[in-house]
Amino acid sequence: EIDVLWSLKSGAPAEGSSDEPLVCSQLILAIGHSAAAFLSSFILDSVCWEVVGVVKLWNEWCRTSNTTNVLPTDSFCLFYRLIADPTVLLCQCSCYVAEDQQFQWLEKVFGCMRKEGLQVTILSTCPVADYKTQESTLTLPSPFLKALKTKEFKEHICCPLLEQPNIVRDLPAA
């Protein structure tokens, strides 16, 4: 079972009510320990964000709670809202979402949001040993960044696209 619990502060706009979907213009998902640590170090290390939700899930590798007081070693899935623009949300997910839970996770998270005009950015990592290239992986800069995008995304991307036959797996692929 997966539950999304929102803790929008009193005085928050009505879009935080359970009847009305959240108005969200940008959702940034950081999936995995490295991506979550990147958000903690470079984005969330300011007073510009407030915790507004948590995803509770339980599987054989991960047991999360509805607390927002987490340690760096904990498995967690927290939502943050940009105070200056409440339509910008971050999701920091360091917990393992099992294959049979991924569809339900997506349904619950995106079921809470209005999807018109929503731009979703996903940050994730994979081992360099899984990266397929004709050049030696020893000559690759460390770390290196690649992107995937949908045809609807018309903005400039800041790095090269991920080459075939590389693929994205697990929750980022879902």
* Torsional sign, CA 148, 152, 153, 154: positive
What pLDDT is attached to residue 93?
93
Burial group, residue 120, by CB count within 10 angstroms (0-12, 13-18, 19+) = middle
Where do the structural domains in the chain lie, given as residue ranges?
A: 21-123
pLDDT digits (tens, 9 = 90+) for 103-154: 999 999 999 899 899 999 999 998 888 899 888 888 888 888 999 999 988 8
